[in-house]
Amino acid sequence: MPTLQDVAILAGVSTATVSRTLNKPELVEPVTRTKVAEAIKVSGYTRNEAARSLAMRSSRTIGLLTDNFASSYFAPIMDETVDILREYGYYTIVEATGNVANNIDPGKQRRAWQSLISRQVESIIVLSLLVDDAELENMLREFPNTVLIDRHVHEDSNRCITVDHYVGGQLAAKHLLDNGHRNIAMISGPENKPDANLRGKGFIDELLRQGCPIKENRIFQGDYTITSGTNAMQQILNGKDEVSAVFAQNDDMAAGVVNACYTAGIKVPEQMSVVGFDNSALATAVFPHLTTVSQPLKSMSHSAATLALNLSQRHQREGVLPNPQTHFMPALIERMSVMDIRPKQR
C-alpha cells in the first residue's frame, strides 16, 4: 500500500503539500495540485484513515447502535443516516445489541457499546427499543455525545429525537370513530415500553373523550410480534364479543390480526377493520394494505444525523448546523383495512 510519503516523492514535493492538496486544496498552487493528483493516480494511493484519525484526534466516525437489523422499523432510518453521514465525510460503524423481543443479552449490549467507544466514535446514535432505561442512563453518563431515537431520557431532551406516540394513538382512535366504529378492541405492545404505553393511552383517551370508552376486556396484551397479534385476535374472535374494529399497536401485530381473521373466515375490512402503527414494509405487503399510523422516519433520521454531526469534532472546525427539529408528529395513512360502517346517507 503506497503511503503519503510515496506520493510526495513521486510528485517531487513534501508530505505536507500532499496532505494539503488532499484536505485544503485552496492552499496549494494549481500546478502542484495537478502534479500531486497525477502521483496519487499512478501510485493508487488511498489515505490511511487510522493514521489520519490518530493525527487529528478525531475519527470521523459515528457509531450506530441498533437492536438487530431485521426490524423493518430500523432499516429506513439506517439507510438515511448512513447516507447523510457519508455526505459529510463521516463513517458509520454499526453495532447490534442482538436484542430481540424476549431475548435480551446485557453482556452483548455492553460489549457492543464498548466496542463503539474504543473505536473513538465521536458520537453515537442509539436506535434501540430494547436497551432498558437504567442501562441507557449508564451509557449516557459514560459517553454523553449520544443521540437517542425514539427514546426519552429526562435530562437531555434536546438529544432525543422523539415522535408523539400519544397523538398517534389518538389518530388511530379518531379514524375508527370517524368511520362509525364503536365496538373497538386494542392489542398493546410490550408492557414496559413507553412508546407502546403512549400509543395505548392516546387511543384510550381519545375514545373516552368522544364518549365511547373502551371496555377493559377488549384490551389485549401483545409484544409487537406477528404471532402475538394472531393470538390476541383469536381470543377476540373466540370471545363472541361483537367487535367491529381493532387497533394493533404496530404493523406486525396488525398483520397477525389479519392472518387470524382469514383463518377464522372473517373478512377484512368488511367484517373487521384494523389499523396498525409504523407504516412498515409489511403494511403494503399484506392484503388488504394496512391503514396505519406513520412516523416520519426520514425526517427523524435527518435530525439524528445532524445532531450527531453537531456533537462531533466537526463542528469545532466547520461550525454547527442549524439545530434540527427533535419532536415529530405522526400521521394517519389511510389504506384499505378500515371500512366505513356508518349508516348510509338518508
Partner DNA sequence: ATTACTGATGTAAGCGCTTACATTTGTACT
Partner DNA sequence: AGTACAAATGTAAGCGCTTACATCAGTAAT
| Interaction site with its own copies (CB under 8 A) | 46-51, 53-54, 59, 68-70, 72, 74-76, 78-79, 82-83, 86, 91-96, 98, 111-112, 114-115, 117-120, 226, 252, 255, 258-259, 262-263, 281-282, 284-289
Minimum gap (Å) between residue 125 Cβ and its own copies? 13
Is residue 183 within 8 A of residue 213, CB to CB? The reply is: no
Three-state secondary-structure class, residue 186: strand
- Judged by CB under 7 A, the residue of 17, 228, 231, 280 near DNA is 17
- Judged by CB under 7 A, the residue of 1, 134, 192, 238 near DNA is 1
Nearest to 45 by CA among 9, 87, 86, 83: 9
Q: Give 16 or 329: the residue with its C-beta nearer to DNA.
A: 16
Q: Categorise residue 189: left if φ over 0, alpha if ψ from -120 to 50, beta otherwise.
A: beta
**Interaction partner, residue 59 (its own copies, DNA, none; CB < 5-8 Å by kind):** its own copies
How many Å apart are CA 123 and CA 146, to the nearest integer? Answer: 6
Q: At what angle do helices 165-178 and 194-209 cross, to 10 degrees?
A: 40
Q: Give 214 or 300: the residue with its C-beta nearer to its own copies.
A: 300
- Judged by CB under 7 A, the residue of 9, 37, 43, 52 near DNA is 52
Minimum gap (Å) between residue 93 Cβ and its own copies? 5
Three-state secondary-structure class, residue 5: helix
How many Å apart are CA 189 and CA 204, to the nearest integer? Answer: 14
Residue 125 pairs in a beta bridge with: 64, 147
- Judged by CB under 7 A, the residue of 34, 44, 54, 114 near DNA is 54
Residue 71's identity, in one-letter code, is: S
How many Å apart are CA 133 and CA 153, to the nearest integer? Answer: 8
Q: Give 234 or 284: the residue with its C-beta nearer to its own copies.
A: 284
Q: Give 24 or 154: the residue with its C-beta nearer to its own copies.
A: 24
Helices (H), 74-128: 74-87, 106-118
Task: By CB under 7 A, tell whether 4 contacts DNA.
Answer: yes
- Judged by CB under 7 A, the residue of 23, 34, 114, 323 near DNA is 23
For the chain, the C-alpha Rg in angstroms (whole number) is 26
Task: By CB under 7 A, tell whether 56 contacts DNA.
Answer: yes
Binding-site ranges for DNA (CB under 7 A): 1, 3-5, 12-17, 19-20, 22-23, 27-29, 31-32, 45, 47-48, 51-52, 54-57
